[in-house]
Amino acid sequence: MIEYVCANSLIYNWVVSCLRLPLEDAWRGFFHGHEKGVKGLKTNTSLPFDHLPLADAGYTMQNAREHFHVVLAASQQQEWPDALRHITEPLISILEKLCRQLLRALPQGDSMETVWLAEAERTGDVSVFDIFNYFPGSALAMAAHTDPGLFTAKFMSKTPGLELLDGNGDWLAIEELGSSAEVVVFAADVLERWTQGAVPSCRHRVRAPSQARLSLVYEMRVLQEGLSLDDLRFVEKRKQLLKSTRIS
């Protein structure tokens, strides 16, 4: 069995028509435009968290693609056009909500969500949003890997490329099966550990696209990837203690 969920409902269709298509056009414009040298943080900004992994923040050019990387805790301080930020942030929060809903649906899901929220408060939210513009080509566009966080949620790209490794060891070209109105969500490494392997991290890769391929990807992450189930139990105990000492 393959561990992914496809969501296709009224809300997501609404998202597609109202938010996603203009957003994709805006990002295409960005990648074709001249502003894309933007990298790192705005000058004269103070960040509440100085330990954020911001080395790859902003625009980078690679062999198979160009890329804009946003670390959510620093989204306001990152150097990126405000107009793009304003239309991208609502979409990120919809993907975040979807991931939290899926997390809560799992056994111990409430605890996992509590830990994620507590960590996001403690360290800043290190979840990321990536916008990739893949170039047409013949080589593999992104090598097989698993993602480091809890979930990865992405809009199916109109130009297919993403492949997920299924339980039989076959690569599933998910974007050829679904429609570009859908969101695909798959598990990542921290979730595999927190569920003690019950929800395995999904190996995936990106095949070279036949034409330019825009890809919008949200990764729900924690800074301390080594957080264990003991930490979960600790949070659960603290919640129970709070409940039992609450005066009604």
Ligand X SMILES: O=C(O)CCC(=O)C(=O)O
Contacting positions for Fe ion (CB under 5 A): 147
Looking at residues 129 to 188 of the shown chain, list those that interact with ligand X (rule: CB under 6 A): 130, 132, 142, 147, 154, 161-162
Q: Which residue has the tokens 């507590």?
A: 118
Q: Which residue is nearest to ligand X (CB)?
A: 215
Cα–Cα dist 201/88, whole Å = 27
Q: Which of 174, 217, 220, 227 binds ligand X (CB under 6 A)?
A: 217
With CA atoms as reference, report the closest residue to 202 among 139, 144, 115.
Answer: 144
Contact between 3 and ligand X per CB under 6 A: no
Q: Which two structure tokens, joined as six digits, stand for 154? A: 């992405």
Shortest CB 165 distance to ligand X, Å = 12
Looking at residues 20 to 79 of the shown chain, list those that interact with ligand X (rule: CB under 6 A): none
Q: Which of 204, 218, 220, 222 binds ligand X (CB under 6 A)?
A: 204
Choose the contact partner of 162 out of Fe ion, ligand X, none; CB within 5 to 8 A by kind: ligand X
CA distances to 100, 122, 143, 166, 195 from 6, in Å: 15, 31, 23, 15, 21
What 3-state DSSP class applies to 36?
helix
Q: Which of 102, 113, 215, 227 binds ligand X (CB under 6 A)?
A: 215
With CA atoms as reference, report the closest residue to 116 among 124, 240, 129, 75.
Answer: 124
Using CB under 6 A, list all residues that contact ligand X: 130, 132, 142, 147, 154, 161-162, 204, 206, 215, 217
